[in-house]
Amino acid sequence: MTSLTFADADTPAIPVHVVPEAGLEAWQADAPAAWVTLSEAQGFSGKLGQTLILPGQDGAIDAVLAGYGTEAARARKRFALASVAAKLPAGTYRLAGLDEVATLAEESLGWLLSGYKFTRYAGKPADGALLQADPRLDAPRLEAIAAGEVLTRDLINTPANDMGPEELEAAAQTLADRTGATCHVIRDGDLLAENLPLIHTVGRASPRRPRLIDLRWGGTGPKLTLVGKGVCFDTGGLNLKPGGSMALMKKDMGGSATVLGLAQMIVDTKLPVQLRVLIPAVENAVSGAAFRPGDVLTARNGLTVEINNTDAEGRLVLADALALAAEDAPDLIVSMATLTGAARVAVGPDLAPYYTTDPAHAAALSAAAHDVRDPVWQLPFHAPYEDMIEPGIADLDNAPSGGFAGSITAALFLRRFTGGLGYMHFDIYGWQPSAAPARPKGGVGQGARALLAALPKILNL
């Protein structure tokens, strides 16, 4: 696993002067003449991401200029200085010229995350540009957030042959062992004995046996339960996906990876909550034991579900887990899942749509997402669409026909299993389709940092 930490505070550090386009003249007025001459000769204008190394008389790096562009340019590109970090040779650096602590924190976190590389199968971590934390920052908190994001990315990036239900359980147990949490697992046939029938049904076709992972940490404070979809590979079941749609299905456990990363952040930042993490871990496979279109299944809470598409299995395993979560009457239930293609059509890969019926929760989350540059977007629990998930033959339909409002109807389906308790649902993508600053192509966390920042207000901590 990649370790992303700040450089030792006592190590001599090369200053990185952050210069916006509008601040270029002010920087030139105070800078040594040789630096000004070199920057002009190299055409340095302060454009976002522009990088210029300033050598000393001995040829070693004396300082670095980092273009910070305009406010409009920064609004379009998160973690702008991460692109600068990627261009610098190995060494220790410190940021200079950023006055706002929130901005400094954002760029410092981005610098840390720029060091992430998935190297399990090829390559090795590079000796990159280390950053020395500004003394105004809460450096341990930023390192904890980076470590949680690394956990999420590594789990999603690991292919399904090495990340099945058993390996996902092992990842949760490793987190529990490190943090002092407890981890209880209900496996295979015991799922039926423990009244988790939908998890068993979805996972029974695979030789990699289904299970429910139940992690708990903390003995005081509000009760927070995180539920993550852990479909370690999704063939679509008997409604088999075409090959092109199956290519990224190793990431269908992205919800579980995200809640585990968030759980690690919560524990390492010592958020005063009673945390529970529930992960239904399955592989949706094809065999004679696979569940079928037209089947009617009964969930943990007694609701019946008509199966109109076996490729809408994520909401089934989440249904049992949510019903179990509700029995403990937590103050807040949060589900995260790579649930619908409809969400991607609506908001694209970079935004995580979320659902809540509490305006105060929505306001807190939206403000936090803006502050920490972890974009989310609220979609509605639109009550008139409830009729779309009621097929008549059973209480619920797992895949309403027509194709309209797919993300909303999935969220409404899940809400039926939460017992009327406080509930938020995130329909994430969990994948960065092309490289961006601090986010290489591959698995990525969505919504976790925003939620971490919002939880103190949401839970009145």
Task: Please identify every residue annotated as catalytic.
Answer: 241, 315
Q: Shortest CA distance to 261 belongs to which of 103, 113, 59? A: 113
DSSP state of 7: B
Residue by residue, DSSP assigns 106-173 as HHHHHHHHTT----SSS------EEEBPPTTS-HHHHHHHHHHHHHHHHHHHS-GGG-SHHHHHHHHH
| End-to-end C-alpha distance for the chain, whole angstroms | 32
Cα angle 341-345-349, degrees, rounded to a multiple of 5: 85
Convert 349-368 to b/e letters by CB count within 10 Å (16 or more is b): bebbbbbbeeeebbebbbeb
**CA distances to 33, 35, 37, 95, 342 from 45, in Å:** 16, 13, 13, 18, 42
- Count the neighbouring beta carbons within 10 Å of the beta carbon of residue 46: 21
Which residues fall within 8 angstroms of residue 431, CB to CB, at 6 or more apart?
Answer: 156, 248, 251, 254, 349, 442, 443, 444
DSSP state of 81: H
Contact 268, 458 (CB under 8 A): no
The SS3 assignment for 310 reads: coil
263/259 Cα distance (integer angstroms): 6
DSSP state of 2: -
